[in-house]
Structure 1
């Protein structure tokens, strides 16, 4: 079959009025043959492999080693905790058993109690045998020092200290000396290291014996009878009952300091309350209270005071 210029390249006759096939890039009628797609070289080109960053493997190894160390530490801590818990449980169980074992040795404490019980019976015989004198004489200094003030305790001192005087019935058979049967005066004195000591003497002017026990009350007065400062305080000295026969005397020591510091006016009179008496004796006497130190001792036999 002879073709015509207007025939289709495939050999089909040209249809009148149909568009002709342009010569595209892939058309056999293209002047230079088929043209290659420019994107095909980019899409089908071999991709090169990326190399690892510098030091990446070292970092990976370090992280792996760190994870291993952490796991090892956690495992070790868990093992230690388990062991500690086991030891604690074992110890608690052992302690419980130990408490049960400790119970019977309490018999050793029971064994020690009989000696204490045997010691108790041993003490009464000496007390029973020494009740007339020895125990009472040993206990007399303690109540004297601890209860110098109250007059109610004076009867206790009378009964407790009677063995020391040798006349156990003397305070019980003699009445207490009252202000009506006493005469007060200042006796001698002493001094040393800035301290002054004057003796207060009380004399029995009655016709019968009487007794004095403990501290008198003492205050300093001016010429008009007004009190100067506070009453005298008491020195912590023990005492015993003093039996005064008619004309007998008892005395105590008035403690002051030499005129230094702040001194109150000198007294013109001294007021004394005998122990256990509400009536007072007032007599002339010059005493100065300096640095607020005015103290007395309990009464003692004689007229030379009660040494400190």
Structure 2
């Protein structure tokens, strides 16, 4: 049964009409008014555990793989790896790289190369002093500059460097130290030093600094 019009109208009770007949009529009207109407409602979440479960987001599509760095580059690690010992003087070679000027400053990489037959690591600041031709120390040792760097694992033949820093002559009123013949360096954590020619490296302006070691042989 279907009724036209908007809201359903409930017929007035006529005198003498039994109550049961009216109830049957109302039930029929309600059933007819709901024909052809479809309603949808999502089921409530399962709250038996006090949580609402949602569908997991789709997995992200992996992006392109970043190109690898230079082959055989030294590895870095926040903590010294347990499977490689600390690099000591007996397996290291020391050299001083090219001195580079920049805005009144001079920089030179102090390079440690693993000449052993197995991997070892370096972490921290080397102890560096300049020596004259007779082996006497020239001025105070280099001061530490910058933050601590991660440990560098050196396979045989690989290198790590610490940057030496001073000022160009004439930048400061403080005079330069006398020229050095060699650089003496204690590898980080070592009590034995290595030496290498100073290559005309000269401290000026009262500034002589050294950074923590980092991978490679130059910046």
Contact kept, 8 Å, 2:117 with 2:156, in 1: the verdict is yes
Query: Per-residue deviation at 1:259?
Result: 1.1
1:189-229 deviation line (CA, Å, top 9, x unaligned): 42211001111110000001000001001000000000000
Q: Name the residue aligned to 1:223.
A: 133
Q: Secondary structure at the match of 1:175?
A: coil
Query: Per-residue deviation at 1:283?
Result: 1.5
Q: Which runs of 4+ in 1 moved over 3 A?
A: none
Distance 2:81 2:178 in 1: 40
Q: Name the residue aligned to 1:84.
A: none
Distance 1:301 1:189 in 2: 18
Mapping of residues 119-138 of structure 1, within 5 Å: none
Distance 1:188 1:290 in 2: 17
Mapping of residues 85-164 of structure 1, within 5 Å: 161-162=78-79
| TM-score, reference length from structure 1 | 0.44
1:31-68 deviation line (CA, Å, top 9, x unaligned): xxxxxxxxxxxxxxxxxxxxxxxxxxxxxxxxxxxxxx
The answer to whether 1:186 aligns with 2:96 is: yes
Counterpart among 100, 115, 126 of residue 205 in structure 1? 115
Counterpart among 238, 257, 264 of residue 177 in structure 2? 264
Distance 1:202 1:237 in 2: 19
Q: Name the residue aligned to 1:302.
A: 216
1:86-140 deviation line (CA, Å, top 9, x unaligned): xxxxxxxxxxxxxxxxxxxxxxxxxxxxxxxxxxxxxxxxxxxxxxxxxxxxxxx
Query: Per-residue deviation at 1:282?
Result: 1.2
Q: Which runs of 5+ in 1 are unaligned?
A: 1-157, 163-169
Distance 1:288 1:227 in 2: 13
Query: Per-residue deviation at 1:290?
Result: 1.0
Distance 2:148 2:84 in 1: 21
Distance 2:99 2:81 in 1: 29
Aligned length: 140
| Structure with a larger share of its residues in strand | 2
Q: Secondary structure at the match of 1:188?
A: coil
| TM-score, reference length from structure 2 | 0.61
Distance 1:193 1:213 in 2: 29
Contact kept, 8 Å, 2:94 with 2:194, in 1: the verdict is yes
Higher mean alpha-carbon deviation, 294-303 vs 186-195, is at 186-195
Q: Secondary structure at the match of 2:90?
A: helix
Query: Per-residue deviation at 1:275?
Result: 0.4
Contact kept, 8 Å, 2:89 with 2:194, in 1: the verdict is yes
Query: Per-residue deviation at 1:271?
Result: 0.3
Q: Name the residue aligned to 2:205.
A: 291
Distance 2:203 2:111 in 1: 19
What's the Cα RMSD here?
Answer: 1.6
Contact kept, 8 Å, 2:130 with 2:141, in 1: the verdict is yes
Distance 1:174 1:188 in 2: 30
Distance 1:230 1:206 in 2: 31
Q: Which runs of 5+ in 2 are unaligned?
A: 1-76
Q: Name the residue aligned to 2:23.
A: none
Contact kept, 8 Å, 2:129 with 2:185, in 1: the verdict is yes
